Amino acid sequence: GAVVSQHPSRVICKSGTSVKIECRSLDFQATTMFWYRQFPKKSLMLMATSNEGSKATYEQGVEKDKFLINHASLTLSTLTVTSAHPEDSSFYICSARVWGGETYEQYFGPGTRLTVT
């Protein structure tokens, strides 16, 4: 099956700094990737849809200037949390849209745990 990787798996940063999270499709090309945020013991909340070569589409309530998304190639999307604050601490998951034979499916990365101190 399609494999999606994320790097780093864990990151700790100081308040006010920026941190970049990478999402890669390892054995396929992904024109569309998604970024989710998951709070402890909660569901996944879609933050934005990342489209290769164009601007990301953000969900309502997500600050596009704070969560910068770049999808510069067909195998890589990045999420940069700018001027991070402790409330940005969370588990961030990316997924890639993949043709599953009958319809598109999403294959997920292993997630990145961000802790802002």
Nearer to another protein, 82 or 106 (CB): 106
Query: Using an 8 Å Cβ cutoff, are 19 and 11 in contact?
Result: yes
Site string for another protein, 30-69 (x = CB under 8 A): --x-x------xxxx-x--x--------------------
Nearer to another protein, 78 or 95 (CB): 95
Place of tokens 């510069």: 72
CA atoms within 13 A on the CB side of 13: 23
Distance in Å, CB of 83 to another protein, minimum = 26
Nearer to another protein, 46 or 74 (CB): 46
Choose, by CB under 8 A, the member of 35, 58, 67, 107 that binds another protein.
107
d(CA 53, CA 26) in angstroms, rounded, equals 19
